[in-house]
A = this chain, B = another copy of it.
Amino acid sequence: MKYETLFADRTSTMGANIIREILKVVGQPGMISLAGGYPAPQSYPFEVIKQLSTAVLEKYGTKALQYDMTEGFLPLREALVPYLAQKGIETTAAGICITSGSQGLLDALGKVLITPGDAVAVEGPTYLGALSAFNPYGPRYVCAAMDDEGILPDALERILAAHAVKFVYLVPTFQNPTGRSLGVARRHQIAELLDKYDVLLCEDDPYSDLRYRGEALPTMYSLIPERTVYTTTLSKVFAPGLRIGICVAPEPVRKWLVLAKQGVDLNTSTFNQAMAAEYLLGGYLEKQIPKIIDLYKPKQEVMLNALDRYFPREWHYNKPEGGMFIWVEGPKGTDAEKLYWKCIERKAAFVPGKFFFPCEGDGLETMRLNYTMSSEEEIERGIKIIGDTIQEGF
């Protein structure tokens, strides 16, 4: 049959997630990949999960295997209340919605908020998964510039003054792709701006538990709860393959998010939610986080030291206090994609940063580096390969 004429207008906006495409080349044998964005398998509480998988069947019986409420498995939502309170998020089980990864929340949010042509303000660069969730709903992105301390309040204000922005999407802490965190003073400024212009915020917070140094930052939700849709995930502190996302949102928005989710998956895996509940209730999560930090922190240090050693002085990189990424900026005129293909030949991979910018032509000289998936030795060697390739003028 003639398939070409079948598709909806919106379908052309659904490009492949380029990072996932790039990771295909990266799977070649012998490749040192600093391109990934996955948590290290060594960070999973493997033995705990083994134990919990049978324990939940004993505790919850067939309830753990049945359909369940779209809002989420109640014991999990109850267990999340004190966990979220530590982040300044005061809510009840009824205020929480469980989604199939935070990706599920991003899709639902796009679906209930974006009419084609609506302006959505994002950081430049921003998380690519958010763009692929929002794209089918037809947003027009307006991009606020960042520096090492996150989004620039002035840049955001210019956008809010000039556009009828439907919502602002931010990853304020240890952002993917940059690892940057929004400073405390700026958080207050952004909160005031959102109040002033009466705009909703989506705060995506997957990384804040992975803090290696420094003081915890207040969540945006804790500053402006009535205008924040907060989302986080257990993918970085439990296991991503279980697909558990968490959302807290004002009731008038949350009720529509739940209806949108109902049409998409009815409910998130009950069994996996039951395991997550026991992971929290048994105190395993709080014991696991320091182990994950002990795993990642030295890897990050190795990467920072190697960057210092092998990269030319004109190349700038940041030193995030946590998370999974380091952001590197070459001198103006650098073509980081050209460098990428050269490094692939030499068996080292990163992600050219331009793919994280919604506007074509931005960030050509940038790259994202990840240190969670490689050994310290591989990180050292990978950075040396990239640094040497740069030094040779690639």
Chain A positions near chain B (C-beta within 8 angstroms): 1-4, 6-11, 14-17, 20, 38, 41-42, 44, 46, 49-50, 53-54, 57, 61-68, 70, 100-101, 103-104, 107, 111-115, 118, 129, 132-133, 135-137, 166-167, 198, 200, 226-227, 235, 239-243, 250, 252-253, 256, 259-260, 262-272
User: Contacts A263-B107, A269-B269, A271-B242; is A118 near B8 (CB within 8 Å)?
Assistant: yes
User: Contacts A46-B65, A66-B38; is A113 near B226 (CB within 8 Å)?
Assistant: no
Docked-complex contact B70 and A44, CB < 8 angstroms: no
Docked-complex contact B262 and A242, CB < 8 angstroms: no
Extra pairs beyond A4-B252, A107-B265 (5, CB < 8 Å) = A3-B250, A3-B253, A11-B256, A66-B240, A104-B265
Docked-complex contact A8 and B250, CB < 8 angstroms: no
Docked-complex contact B264 and A7, CB < 8 angstroms: no
Q: How far is the CA of A166 from the CA of B7 in the complex (A)?
A: 9
Docked-complex contact A6 and B253, CB < 8 angstroms: yes
Can you give 9 contacting A-B residue pairs, CB < 8 Å? A8-B118, A14-B260, A16-B259, A42-B62, A46-B62, A241-B269, A242-B269, A242-B270, A243-B265
Docked-complex contact A20 and B62, CB < 8 angstroms: no
Docked-complex contact B53 and A66, CB < 8 angstroms: no
Q: How many copies does the complex hold?
A: 2
Q: How far is the CA of A15 from the CA of B258 in the complex (A)?
A: 11
Contacts of A20 in B (CB 8 A): 70, 262
Among A6, A8, A70, A239, chain B packs the most CB atoms within 10 A around the CB of A8
What is the distance, in angstroms, from A166's C-beta to the closest C-beta of chain B? 7
Contact of A10 among B54, B62, B63, B111 (CB under 8 A): B111
Docked-complex contact A66 and B41, CB < 8 angstroms: yes
What is the distance, in angstroms, from A22's C-beta to the closest C-beta of chain B? 14
Q: Which 9 A-B pairs have the closest CB atoms?
A: A241-B270, A41-B62, A53-B53, A65-B239, A3-B252, A132-B263, A65-B241, A8-B115, A107-B264
Contact of A269 among B3, B166, B226, B272 (CB under 8 A): B272
For A64, the closest partner residue in chain B by CB is: B241
Q: How far is the CA of A66 from the CA of B166 in the complex (A)?
A: 34
Q: How far is the CA of A129 from the CA of B11 in the complex (A)?
A: 22
For A195, the closest partner residue in chain B by CB is: B1
Contacts of A66 in B (CB 8 A): 38, 41, 239-241
For A54, the closest partner residue in chain B by CB is: B50
For A44, the closest partner residue in chain B by CB is: B65
What is the distance, in angstroms, from A374's C-beta to the closest C-beta of chain B? 15
Q: How far is the CA of A132 from the CA of B258 in the complex (A)?
A: 12
User: Contacts A132-B262, A262-B132; is A241 near B8 (CB within 8 Å)?
Assistant: no
Contact of A65 among B49, B103, B114, B253 (CB under 8 A): B49
Contacts of A198 in B (CB 8 A): 1-2
Docked-complex contact B6 and A65, CB < 8 angstroms: no
Docked-complex contact B262 and A264, CB < 8 angstroms: no
Q: How far is the CA of A132 from the CA of B111 in the complex (A)?
A: 13
Contacts of A266 in B (CB 8 A): 101, 103, 129, 243
